[in-house]
Amino acid sequence: MSQPLSVGLVQAAARHHSAPDPDAFAAEVRRLARTHPGIRLLVYPELHLCGHAKDEDPEEVMVAAAQPLDGPRDAMLSGLARELDLWLVPGTVYEQGEDGQIYNTAVVYSPRGARVAAYRKMFPWRPHETTAAGSRFVVFDMDGYGRVGLSICYDAWFPEVTRHLAWQGADLVLNLVRTPTVDRAQELVLARANAIVNQVFMASVNAAPPDGIGRSVLVDPEGRVRAEAGPEPELVLTDVLDLAEARRVRAHGTAGLTRVWDPFAEDQPPLELPLYAGRIDPERWRGGGHRREADRPGPA
């Protein structure tokens, strides 16, 4: 049995890297922890700590803000999660990779202050985003609650991303977003569609103006919108989730009917997939949505 998970999805404007103030971010997190004492998982939008002002060159900000994963920013964030005894997803950061490339990376810290996951954005929004692309799907376990997968903004437009995270057993997918454009309307549809076809909770956390247009949303495994924000400059969407609900929906079907993780007859041959020069093997598919093995993919 999983415990109820109290989540806080923080729709806020980014902090500009040109005027870095780690103490101000720490104070913000402490304030939210104080005003929402029950929250166990606090989630921020894409590039929340690495924003750029309108008159700044995003490329210059990216280079200036990039740090190795284990740099001083990491020490500050891990200490903050440990101090407040909560799971902290501070959005995404610019990561200076060991290969010399810069990645847009989502990081996660446990209440013990350990960095438990790091996911590099697979689908940067070309040609506007010049970060290198990641190549590994990342999920992590929240002991007593369930398994969580990570995606970043444009990743949600590619169904393979959420499908792989659900296949790896994610009960909840956090999609960290920085969308200031009109296609946020389409992203809201995608949040529901990804939840429905993968039978997984979807949290799409967008930045507030001027970095994004808000409209953050939380969707359940049957596609129902549990909470949705408007374009407010700052808002915390809160909810209490039973992540085992995703497993129940997979086992018994959406609306008690549709079981997308068990569609194949026992003697059905593999389905060829010309698009991928590969195929769906029913034996491998059937493991989907129920994978709980310890040997799961880690940071990119």
Q: Is the pLDDT of residue 266 over 90?
A: no
Distance CA 237, CA 273 (A): 40
List residues with catalytic annotation: 46, 121, 153
Residue in this structure with the two tokens 């195929």, named with its chain if needed: 279
Residue scoring higher pLDDT (287 or 200) = 200
Backbone φ, ψ for residue 64 (5° rounding): -70, -35
Handedness of CA 297, 148, 165, 72 (dihedral sign): negative
Gap between the Cα atoms of 290 and 247, Å rounded: 7
pLDDT of residue 276: 79
The confidence band for 16, taking pLDDT boundaries of 50, 70 and 90, is confident
Q: How many helices (H) and strands (E) does the chain have?
A: 7, 15
Say if residue 296's pLDDT is above 70.
Answer: no
Q: For residues 164-187, b (16+ Cβ closer than 10 Å) or e, as one string?
A: bbbbbbbbbbbbbbbbeeeebeeb
pLDDT at position 51 is 85
Q: Give me the pLDDT at residue 22, please.
A: 76
Q: Check residue 18 and give its pLDDT.
A: 61
CATH of 5-285, one of 3.60.110.10, 3.40.50.880, 3.40.30.10, 3.40.50.300: 3.60.110.10
The structural domains of the chain, with segments of one domain joined by +, span 5-285
261: Cα separation from own chain's centroid? 22
| H or E element that contains 71 | none
What's the predicted TM-score (pTM) here?
A: 0.92
Q: Is the pLDDT of residue 2 over 90?
A: no
Write the pLDDT tens digit of every residue in 223-256: 999 999 999 889 999 999 999 999 999 999 999 9
Which tens digits make up the pLDDT trace of 163-200? 999 999 999 999 999 999 999 999 999 999 999 999 99
Q: Which residue has the higher pLDDT, 22 or 148?
A: 148
Identify which has the larger pLDDT, 18 or 137: 137
Percent over 70 (pLDDT), the chain: 93
